[in-house]
Amino acid sequence: MNVRLYVWQRATAALMAPLVLVHIAVILYATRAGLSAADILSRTHNSIAWATFYGIFVAAASIHASIGVRNILVEWSPFSERGAGRFAAVLGIALALLGFHAVFALVVA
Amino acid sequence: MSSAAPAQLSVSLWRGSDDGCYETYSVPRRASQTVLDVVTYVQRHIDATLSYRFACRVGMCGSCAMTVNGRPRWTCRTHVAKVAANGRLKIGPLENLPRIKDLATDMQPFFEKWRQAEGVFAPSLTRAEPMARIKPDSRARMAADAAIECINCGVCYAACDTVRWNANYLGPAALNRAWTLVNDERDAGNAARLTAVAASGGCHSCHSHQSCQEHCPLALNPTESIAGLKRRTVAAYLNGELKA
């Protein structure tokens, strides 16, 4: 890992720390309050706040996870650094697409 | 030597190169016996073809490091009584380095990484100029002094998990050396040095497992030096002084 990847991974980790806490709190609230899927969608639909919250979460998680996976591949697999970088880039894009699709479904669709 | 200690040690030594194996020898147990004494006994009395490396025998040169019962150690400063309570010793070459023969490893990759980390002093003054005045209690000098006593034995390099997993990783000794120079006010090579240690395989590859600190015979803390390099390089990168 070089300094650029290191900074991105640490920065996204710092960004996600409070987001994870809020996310877990939301899960606990939704399950304990017995909210149905329709109840949840009614709260998130057209909500700029939830779109922003989970949009940032998805972007940070995609960057953070792909850098981490790249590092694991470099150390524990036969991948070269370039090969691991390419695989991680594809993984990061896939995670971002899946995540933004979910956010879109939650807020817009 | 306690009265309960066996009269003979059962000593397994690595013989050959990568395709070698451990062979077992019986060595007389003696008082105040070091692991280097044991290896030397085998070479002088049992098998003269045994290859190993040593020089000073007093913990100053750093050339006799081997893997003793699973841990990298200076053999000259390791008493048998400390590591072979059951009378058994298993001695191999250092890990993470190419094996030449028996207990001797090729240290070239280790020193090559020193060079890659810009571990060479780059003078900022000439002989004609007055000697630099360095305050011993300055923060930079104290940081350099804390890491300066490394004698390049390779124990930390052999103990490092990240070196084992990533052949490009510079390793704790080279990065520790770079940290001493980063804090040397007389040195003029920090631009190239920070670029070198911030690149792929540099200080940011360290997982802070602290095996280097755990195993260093001089009780140095390369993990702390590497953490210092991480802070310094991140600051330089964010200030636009480094390109990665």
Confidence bin at A73 (pLDDT 50/70/90): very high
- B1 pLDDT more than 60: no
Confidence bin at A84 (pLDDT 50/70/90): very high
Give, in order, the Cα–Cα distances in Å from A16 to each of A12, A27, A60, A104: 6, 16, 7, 20
Which residue of chain B comes nearest to A4, CA vs CA?
B244
Residues of B with CB under 8 A from a CB of A: 162, 165-166, 168, 198-200, 202, 204-205, 230, 233-234, 237-238, 242, 244
Task: Read off the tokens for B167.
Answer: 């052949």
Q: B36: closest CA among B57, B50, B21, B17?
A: B57
Angstroms from B235 CA to nearest CA on chain A: 10
pLDDT of residue A60: 98
- B189 pLDDT more than 90: yes
Please say whether the dihedral angle defined by the alpha carbons of residues B38, B155, B219 and B138, taken in this order, is positive or negative: positive
Residue-range domains of chain B with CATH: 8-105 (3.10.20.30), 108-238 (1.10.1060.10)
Q: Which chain B residues are within 8 Å of A74, Cβ to Cβ?
A: 166
ipTM computed for the complex: 0.85
Angstroms from B199 CA to nearest CA on chain A: 5
pLDDT of residue A109: 74
Q: How confident is the model over B38-76, as pLDDT tens digits? A: 999 999 999 999 999 999 999 999 999 999 999 999 999
CATH topology of domain A3-107: 3 helical TM bundles of succinate and fumarate reductases (1.20.1300)
Q: How confident is the model over B160-172, as pLDDT tens digits? A: 999 999 999 999 9
d(CA B123, CA B131): 11
Contact B99, B18 (CB under 8 A): yes
Residue B75: burial class (beta carbons within 10 Å; 0-12, 13-18, 19+): buried
d(CA B95, CA B32): 27
Q: Report the residue from B165, B166, B199 with minimal CB separation from A2.
A: B199
Q: B173: closest CA among B189, B157, B193?
A: B157
Record: contact B237-A81, CB cut-off 8 A: no
**pLDDT exceeding 70 applies to what percent of chain B?**
97
